[in-house]
Structure 1
Amino acid sequence: MTTNYKAVSHQNIFAVLCTSMLSCGAAHAANNVTLFGIIDDGLTYSSNVGGKSAWQMQSGIAQQSRWGVLGREDLGGGTAAIFRLENGFNVNQGTLGNGSRMFGRAAYVGLSNDRYGTLTLGRQNEFMADYVGAYGATGNWGILLPHAGDLDNTGIDYRVNSAVRYVTPSFSGVSLGALYSFGGTPGEMGRNALESFGVNYVSGPLSIAAAYTAIDHPATAVNEGVWTASNPVDGNYGIAAGHYRSTGVSVQYVLGKARLAAVYTNTRFSSLDPTLGAHIDGAVTFNIGELIAAYNITPALQVGGAYSYTAGKVSANGTTPRYHIAGGVIDYFLSKRTDVYFQTTWMRAAGDATVAGLAPVIAASSGKSQLVARLGLRTKF
């Protein structure tokens, strides 16, 4: 029998996949396969988008709207086969997110052992996103409170294809992780390759994370996220860079109903090719510091705020772009699954920076300031 694969639509693939996986879970073990998801939608106001104010319905700001399937099969001896397929989408338009990928948020398979750790293969997060970003404002409240341009990927603006990732078990609260993505360039094993390392420590109220990520030719190795001409902070540095490197550390402390955190990252674009859009040679460095505070007024009501400062330096001409971002959030939980929230964020370009832009949420302002406010509704299943 000949199968016409071109005739199979995305919708049909989704339906067959979900039906077959859920059927397998029912036939073998009820906890083998889990279907999960988040739907986040709301109304966003922007004070200046290209010189004019704007009202927009936006999907996936506090958390990206998504659905996914988790699978686990016990193999004995503390070892299990695992997989994760996770799709991002726009609830307002019914379209695929993450570059129109079917499973753009995650797609991996692997083995997990209680004593030896977890090894996974596929499309995954690097450790600046998973470890350092988890304790920052984006990890707590979403991408409306980003680091400037999300240059360090703490807002998970990109994910990594063709990656091998290993995470150790927790030893006295410490877990280590390493990831490598093969560039796939014939004759040049290192071209378009990505490597990332992370350490995470959790002990009672204290959490500490650190990470390092390096990418060769980031615009072709990871052709999404911050390497776009629409990112005013990036300034096309990612498009022109031969090398990219980001390091960071974050600390969180929980004190009763309060939570305090701090994040520091250093991101460097180097080996810039001026013919590719950077208009300069040499290197560009950004240092970002962030402070976060949150307080649970009641079990159902949380308030919080964050401030970050970005200091950039362009080695070729000595210019120093600067950015201030401050914001706050009020989050009220109607149930364990559903909440309504209000967020507001203000960005100010300073130093040699001339344009504010809360990428990737809102297009750039026509001037140095941009204010954004949002009322949203989120439910989980």
Structure 2
Amino acid sequence: MKKSLLALAALGAFAGVAHAQSSVTLYGIIDEGFNINTNAGGSHLYNLSSGVLQGSRFGMRGTEDLGGGLKAIFVLENGFDVNNGKLGQGGLMFGRQAYVGLSSQFGTVALGRQYDSVVDYVGPLEVGDQWGGYIAAHPGDIDNFNNTYRTNNTVKYTSANYNGLTFGGTYSLGGIAGNVTQNQIWSLGAGYNNGPLVLGVGYLNARTAGASGGLFNDGGTIATNTAKTATAAASYAVTSPVYAGFASANTYQVIGAGGAYTFGAATIGATYSNIRFGNLGATFASPYKGQSATFNNGELNFKYQLTPALLIGAAYDYTRGADIAGASRAQYHQGAIGVDYFLSKRTDVYVTGVYQHALGDTLSSTGGVQAATASINGITPSQNQNQLTARIGIRHKF
């Protein structure tokens, strides 16, 4: 009996050590607010919406110390709508992130649904990932800086931090029998964060992004002779008129770079992206079959920490559209302002306003030339060249 009690005590002590070397954290964000949209398909719209400044989410992350500096890691994270309780990302249970991997002094390798390198290294430098929220992201989030599209079936490497320098890359298998390139996605990036200076560069290449299971549409797509028609589950079909007419491309490519410098309470930043849609008509019909189209985007942003609790910001963004034979290039001018007041470390209230003006011509989702219309990211597009949206919201982190 005495030996049994000693054995149980030893096992209990061992279990306590094992528990101390492992951890699981539950976390989340609830972001809710009231919006005004001056032109939602031709009418004013007043509504509540969830997850603008940051996507509302609930997640779990964990680590286990395996010894010798090696750790097992995992993240499971869903998105949801506060107003109706529905899951985000097309109803996926863990639509934001879902991965498992190993981490050591040489970096981290993870497998699952993850973010690409443009999102990781350049995205945080645009205003949409800061005080502006997704409505202040670039038109249609055309360069994915705001993480509209996640990558499935992804192998990802992230380096250790070398005096502020980090780098990494991803490779996503298409999963199509007999075709190793369809739906294939890969990316590379690097970042530097040391003192007042932050820099980031990234490259993203996605094959057949508009096809069923592709980057733009991992819920599935049905193609017709003139345009794609999304099924009910196809939550990622491109609806933004900024580039819906170019989503038939065989290759979607983004080259992005950005930087920021902080002096005192002020931070000034800038981003640039070059977006190329190569070989139109590869995934659904286009009258411009075989041609390619290039967009360019530039942003300047500024923020100032008036007090430890009060932040103000302003930004200007310019998008130059692709050249279309017989039409003028689309142009999108966008300005944003914001105020964020922190009631505590976990709770803040904010106000954001975004105005966009469109010029020129672009391709419609059916492939025809149409006048460019204002399309602030994430909201119902305007029916004319102008659109203004304003939001007052509250965010709580737990």
TM-score norm. by structure 2 comes to: 0.86
Give SS of 1:32's match.
strand
How far apart are the structure 1 equivalents of 2:301 and 2:357?
A: 18
- Alpha-carbon offset, residue 314 of structure 1: 2.8
CA distance in 1, matches of 2:209, 2:50: 27
CA distance in 1, matches of 2:65, 2:280: 49
Identical positions, percent? 43
CA distance in 2, matches of 1:306, 1:349: 17
On the 8 A contact 2:249/2:283 being kept in 1, the answer is no
Shift of 1:176: 1.1
Where does the alignment leave 5 or more consecutive residues of structure 2 unmatched?
1-14, 219-233, 362-370
Partner of 1:349: 358
Cα distance in 1, alignment partners of residues 286 and 49 from structure 2: 31
8 Å Cα contact 1:308-1:324 kept in structure 2: yes
**Number of residue pairs matched by the alignment:** 355
Indicate the residue corresponding to 1:358 in structure 2: 376
Q: 1:226 to 1:106 in 2, by over 3 A?
A: same
Task: Tell me by how many angstroms 1:228 deviates.
Answer: 3.2
Letter of the structure 1 residue corresponding to residue 120 of structure 2:
D
| CA RMSD of superposed structures (Å) | 2.0
**Quick check: which has more Rg, 1 or 2?**
2
Moved over 4 A (4+): 24-27, 224-227, 315-318
In the alignment, the residues of structure 2 paired with residue 26 and residue 328 of structure 1 have an alpha-carbon distance, to the nearest angstrom, of 51
Aligned to 1:162: 153
Q: Distance in 2 between matches of 1:227 and 1:41?
A: 22
Question: Relative to 1, partners in 2 of residues 1:78 and 1:229: Cα closer, same or farther, differing over 3 Å?
Answer: closer
DSSP-derived class of the 1:236 partner: helix
Change over 3 Å in CA distance of 1:324–1:337 after alignment to 2: same
Letter in structure 2 aligned against 1:218: A
- 1:106-149 residue CA offsets vs partner (Å, 9 max, x unmatched): 000000002x1000000000011111111111111210101011
Amino acid at match of 1:123: R
Structure 1 residue 25, shift from structure 2 partner: 11
- Which residue in 1 is equivalent to 2:392? 375
TM-score w.r.t. the length of structure 1 is: 0.89
Where in structure 2 are the equivalents of 1:192-341 lying within 5 Å? 192-220=183-211, 221-222=214-215, 223=217, 228-238=237-247, 240-273=248-281, 276=284, 278-281=286-289, 282-317=291-326, 319-341=328-350
Pair 164,274 (structure 1): closer, same or farther in 2 beyond 3 Å: closer
For the Cα contact (< 8 Å) 2:125–2:269, is it kept in 1? yes
CA contact (8 A) 2:114 2:150 kept: yes
Structure 2 match to 1:121? 111
SS state at 1:153 partner: coil
Work out the CA distance in 2 between the residues paired with 1:330 and 1:64.
18
- The Cα offsets for residues 143-201 of structure 1, whole Å up to 9 and x where unpaired, read as 01010111100010010000000011122321110100000111111121000000001
The 3-state SS of whatever aligns with 1:129 is helix
Distance in 2, matches of 1:135 and 1:165, equals 21
CA distance in 2, matches of 1:37, 1:374: 21
Matching residue's letter, 2:386: S
Distance 1:366 1:315 in 2: 21
